[in-house]
Chain A
Amino acid sequence: MKFLHHIIDRIILLTAGRFLVVLSEKDSRIKKELEFWPDEFTAALAADKHGPFMFIKKLNNKLHYLGFKEDDKKAELKIFFKDEELAYQVFSVKESIRDSFSEHRLIIDGDFSVGVSMIYMLEILESYLLPSFMTKDIMPNKINRETGRVMLFLHTLTLNKDKGE
């Protein structure tokens, strides 16, 4: 079972960065959050301290997905869970990411304010990926979608690879 959870964590992290890149051009709230990030800022989300990862970077006011391998990437912000299974709880919508943070199961290593911003972006992404009946228990307020899911998936599938991916 744990292996299956590991695979699910990996799939989520492999795709989440690409979805965020597309949404950063289509969703006004994610655009606004991105404005808050310093330019050339690199952030990573990881299932646990040692990965698997998702690296994203703000460059020239645009979000770029840098892949999942740590290599020599230097992230100014790392958000990771204390255990991969705890990441699975969030990725499988059993727990909200903000509950995970307030329960100290998720660590923000770096600038807190950008970490909070990234958590907002991930919550918005969650509202696109999952039907609202699945997220209603973990999200007190409904987050409306500003673009269609089909378009989002199509754009994500056809997204050009960035250097380093």
Chain B
Amino acid sequence: MRFPEYYEFYNPVKINSGKNALLTLDYEMERLKIKKPFILTNEMLDELNLLDLLLEHLHGFEISGKHIFKKIPNVSSVDIVKKAAEVFRENDCDSIIALGGGSVIDTAKGINLMISENTDDIRKLVGVETAHGDMKPLIVIPTTSGTGSEATVEAVITDEERKLKLEFLSNKLLPDLAVLDPRMTFPLPARLTASLGVDVLVHAVEAYTGLQKNPLSDNYALTAVKLIGKYLKSAVREGDNVKYRMAMANASIMAGIAFSNSMVGIIHAIGHACESVSEVSHGDAISILLSHGMEYNLKFDYCRNSYSDLLLSLAGPEIYASTPAEKRAEAAVDEVVKLLDELKDLAGIPRNLKEIGVRKEDFEEIVEKAIHDAAVLSSAGRVERGDIRSILEAAYE
């Protein structure tokens, strides 16, 4: 095990996880002294009756139509954060409940940041630890199992005007409470379940191989990989199975806790760049890049050792024991490729960049964006532009 000379680990999020977890909301909100919550979600979740399900569990709070903001798009943006923060202020709310996936949760974090710093322009707060004021209580109820945003110190908000993904990192962005209720992820289609499940796997793999891996984040990452190995395919096949959905929700939050503390690496750096330049989905981009990024990392001894551990978690003790020690790292990559191929057959996840619309002529722009992504600094070795180009070429078709 690689033991760092120094590390920091922080995760104060209370996690209520399991069947009917929403039943604990009233109690938790009272504990957090919440009276007038501001609920963030999107139209689709309202149509799927998930908003109604949430409202059924809230009693004795001041909630009306004006306290519910349903206009969150698939990607959180500077404008939406600003509009939602205005509604929050106009209605004098005292807390935020985010019901949704990564974009809803990141929007909620953005609003909280704007309110605490009393600003109208969130772009002024980009960077690390720019939150200094008191944050409002934030409760998140994830409806997907992928981004891990329910337990990360990060919010990614798009500046559409400048075509930039703004990153905000602060311990203060962490929610006070994450409620993982399986009913909230039942409607997630197989294709998204698979794609987001791979997103979780990438978070865990990169957290376990990042420069800041540490004994605490390692445990979260390995458990997440174990849950994915055991339950992801089943969750894709049987979306209304409580056990499988809970396993994936827990894998997501654990991988989120892991990478929030040990950071991600080259796969995410290139994935972010593909998202921003070619406007492809985060989950699709990084699921395609995963095996190629792992292949690249095989040249670093400490990544090889980490991948050997991942083989045990992903494939189980029999395969691990029957694989010679020096071949375990490659075997881990093979297991990942096998899983991705199976998910392609099961749910149709894409397997190359060309398929999702990344163009070769955009490679140089993607390389420039990726080399300036902070994730590269936490990746093994000293990543050069040529390394990024070679991964893109390998993942293209």
Contacts and interface: CB of A to CB of B under 8 A. Distances in A.
A140 interface: yes
A110 B126 contact: yes
Given A102-B263, A104-B8, 15 more contacts: A36-B372, A98-B378, A99-B211, A101-B374, A101-B378, A103-B212, A104-B212, A109-B128, A110-B126, A113-B373, A115-B127, A116-B377, A117-B372, A140-B381, A140-B382
Interface residues of A, number: 24
Interface string B162-189: 0000010000000000000000000000
A109 B377 contact: no
B218 to A, nearest CB: 15
A152 interface: no
Contact of A108 (B128, B212, B263, B369): B128
Contact of A141 (B210, B372, B373, B382): B382
A111 interface: yes
Interface of A: 36, 77, 98-99, 101-105, 107-117, 119, 139-141
Contact of B7 (A98, A103, A111, A112): A103
Nearest to A33: B372
Interface string B1-42: 000101110000000000000000000000000000000000
A112 B167 contact: yes
B129 interface: yes
A107 B374 CA distance: 12
B377 A102 contact: yes
Contacts of B129: 107, 109
A99 B263 CA distance: 12
Contacts of A98: 211, 377-378, 382
Contact of B372 (A104, A109, A113): A113
B130 interface: yes
Contacts of B368: 36
B361 interface: no
Interface in B117-134: 126-130
A109 B127 contact: yes
B376 interface: yes
B384 interface: yes
24 contacts: A36-B372, A99-B211, A102-B212, A103-B4, A103-B7, A103-B8, A108-B127, A109-B127, A109-B129, A110-B126, A111-B127, A112-B126, A112-B167, A112-B373, A113-B369, A113-B373, A113-B374, A115-B127, A115-B374, A116-B371, A116-B377, A139-B382, A141-B382, A141-B384
B127 A112 contact: yes
- Greatest chain A CB density within 10 A among B212, B263, B373, B382 is at B382
A102 B6 contact: no
Nearest to A99: B211
B389 to A, nearest CB: 15
Given A102-B210, A102-B211, A103-B7, A108 B382 contact: no
Nearest to A36: B372
Contacts of A103: 4, 6-8, 211-212
Contacts of A139: 382
Nearest to B130: A109
A153 B149 CA distance: 48
Contacts of B369: 113
B378 A102 contact: yes
Given A103-B7, A139-B382, A111 B128 contact: no
Nearest to A49: B129
A116 B382 CA distance: 13
A117 B373 CA distance: 9
A115 B376 CA distance: 12
Contacts of B377: 98, 101-102, 116, 119
